[in-house]
Amino acid sequence: MSTFPRINCSICFGWLDGSSDAASTSCGHIFHKSCLSYWFSQSRTCPYCRRSSSEPRDVFFSTAPFDQNSCAEELLLALAANDLLQAKIDRLNNASPSVKVALLDIMNSAPAFWEKMVLNLVNKITDVLGSQIAP
């Protein structure tokens, strides 16, 4: 199971989320607004680092609903798609030697093919020019 960081109030050790009001000290540490207000009624230092601090500043979190089941379903779909892509890669890698041989044959025969095409064009141009020059 994976983990992700969560912000907690180091005064009450509760989680800070979008549903609770939060405030920060001038040094930037964040707490529940009610916890920090109570703390400031006793002391004008940051509860975390003990630096002198001014009035708390309100902090606003941008949050969105999180549906863990939906995320799990999306992850399973992504894993299935990944498995399909890996199977395609494996098939292409297995077919790769024969494809490489075919491509090498084409590449090796290409210069001769183009040389023959150019010679045919030169001959046609020579014939056309020759017929225009001849009386």
Topology annotation, domain 1-64: Herpes Virus-1 (3.30.40)
Average pLDDT of the segment spanning 7-25: 89
The answer to pTM > 0.95 is no
Domain coordinates in residue numbering, the chain: 1-64, 68-135
Residue type for position 3: T
In the numeric block, which tokens belong to residue 22? 């939060």
> Pairing relation of β-strands 30-32 and 22-24?
antiparallel
Per-residue pLDDT tens digits for 26-50: 999 999 999 999 999 999 999 999 9
Angstrom distance (rounded) from CA 80 to CA 70: 15
